Amino acid sequence: MRVRFWGTRGSIPVALTSADIRDKLALALVAASGRTFASYEEAHAFAHAELDPSITHTFGGHTPCVELEVPGDEYYVCDMGSGARPFGVHVLARQARRSAVVNVFMSHVHWDHIMGFPFFGPAYVPGTKIRIHGCHDVLEEAFRLQQREPCFPVDFSQLGADVEFVKLEPGRSHRVGALTVTPHLQLHSGDSFGYRFEHGGKSVIYSTDSEHKLENRQEAESFARFFQDADLVIFDAMYALADAISVKADWGHSSNIVGVELCQMARARHLMLFHHEPANNDATLEGLLREARRFEELTRGEQPLRVSSAYDGLEVDL
Ligand SMILES: [Zn+2]
Ligand SMILES: [Zn+2]
């Protein structure tokens, strides 16, 4: 199974500005001062090996959209944030005029998780089959609402694709195409649902927009069971722990440190920090990743937990 991240930012899309690019260039020039490079390749290798990731890399970008690729003809994707636009370009290029079948799994219908759908190219192509799965009663209403006048020029009813809404039941395993999927209720304004996906002996958890009260033992244990032995846990790490337990308590999101704790309880293998705060720049996000890795080292039991931070374009093979 391959997991491909098309959108990793929370709440609203962000882009690097010209000032950000100049800043990164200046930092790179300072780091390289005194060095000479005979070729582009040599300079490239230096940047890759010696520059700090906060200089050479950016987290992006788009709001949540995460694809799970498994052998077979159908597509599987979590949420339709603005990352759904490049995901749609990928689907159309790959299909080369053949009709696509796209299975969508919705955590919830807050705007950052549905805003990419009106820009999802395959939705305009007759013959495309889109099945939107979720546990909310308001699922269909939310998708129709955002394309209603005067907010959007193309009404939902004008889409070329055949769009079907499929209600899933939390706590129960469902078979959807090649995947087994189990939704799990999460604490968030209007409720959100995490998903456990299983295929070929591998498991991926998609758990975004979810606040945790770890002092509530029952809640922590229920999530540890949900995450149990997962190969990859995509986790809402919007805040730093200090913010999550003080000013931003009850805002419906979690932190890098809580992610480590829950994954350790669950003996999960790989934690992926996700749904980045739009106000955080690359250096701050690198800092949150370092902090989570350090905390993991200090609290490690028998099984190490790999910790990464998601960015647009990242692919993880399981
Ligand atoms: Zn969100
Ligand atoms: Zn939300």
**In sequence order, what DSSP letters do the residues of the chain get, joined into one string?**
-EEEEEE-BSSS-----HHHHHHHHHHHHHHTTT---SSHHHHHHHHHHHS-HHHH-----PPSEEEEE-SSS-EEEE--STTHHHHHHHHHHHHTTS--EEEEE-S---HHHHTTGGG-GGGGSTT-EEEEEES-TTHHHHHHHTTSTTT-SS-GGG-SSEEEEEE--TTS-EEETTEEEEEEEEBSTT-EEEEEEEETTEEEEEE-S-B--TTSHHHHHHHHHHHTT-SEEEEE--B-HHHHHTTTTTSS--BHHHHHHHHHHHT-SEEEEESB-TT--HHHHHHHHHHHHHHHHHH--SS--EEEE--TT-EEE-
Span 224-243, average pLDDT = 92
Give the C-alpha separation, 130 to 153, whole Å: 21
Lowest mean pLDDT among 46-55, 160-169, 261-270: 46-55
User: Ligand 1 center to residue 157 CA distance, Å?
Assistant: 26
User: Ligand 1 center to residue 168 CA distance, Å?
Assistant: 20
pLDDT at 264: 97
Question: What's the pLDDT band for 42 if we cut at 50, 70, 90?
Answer: very high
Give the C-alpha separation, 188 to 247, whole Å: 16
User: Ligand 1 center to residue 8 CA distance, Å?
Assistant: 10
pLDDT greater than 90 at residue 243: no
User: Ligand 1 center to residue 247 CA distance, Å?
Assistant: 18
Q: How many residues does the chain have?
A: 318
User: Ligand 1 center to residue 43 CA distance, Å?
Assistant: 38
User: Ligand 2 center to residue 313 CA distance, Å?
Assistant: 22
Give the C-alpha separation, 234 to 230, whole Å: 10
Question: Which ligand ends up closest to the CA of 80?
Answer: 1
Q: What is the pLDDT of residues 167-203, one digit of tens each?
A: 999 999 999 999 999 999 999 999 999 999 999 999 9
Phi, psi values for residue 88, rounded to 5°: -65, -40
Q: What single-letter amino acid sits at 254?
A: S
Span 224-250, average pLDDT = 87
Question: Which ligand ends up closest to the CA of 236?
Answer: 1
Give the C-alpha separation, 31 to 169, whole Å: 54
User: Ligand 1 center to residue 238 CA distance, Å?
Assistant: 9
User: Ligand 1 center to residue 34 CA distance, Å?
Assistant: 45
Q: What is the pLDDT of residues 60-97, one digit of tens each?
A: 899 999 999 999 999 999 999 999 999 999 999 999 99
User: Ligand 2 center to residue 29 CA distance, Å?
Assistant: 40
Question: Which ligand ends up closest to the CA of 62?
Answer: 1
Question: What's the pLDDT band for 207 if we cut at 50, 70, 90?
Answer: very high
User: Ligand 1 center to residue 112 CA distance, Å?
Assistant: 5
Question: Which ligand ends up closest to the CA of 276?
Answer: 1
User: Ligand 2 center to residue 50 CA distance, Å?
Assistant: 37
Structurally, at CATH architecture level, domain 2-14+57-312 sits in 4-Layer Sandwich (3.60)
pLDDT at 214: 80
pTM of structure: 0.95
Span 219-246, average pLDDT = 90
Question: Taking the domains of the chain in order of start, what are their residue ranges?
Answer: 2-14+57-312
pLDDT at 33: 94
pLDDT at 215: 84
User: Ligand 2 center to residue 268 CA distance, Å?
Assistant: 24
Question: Which ligand ends up closest to the CA of 12?
Answer: 1
pLDDT greater than 80 at residue 241: no
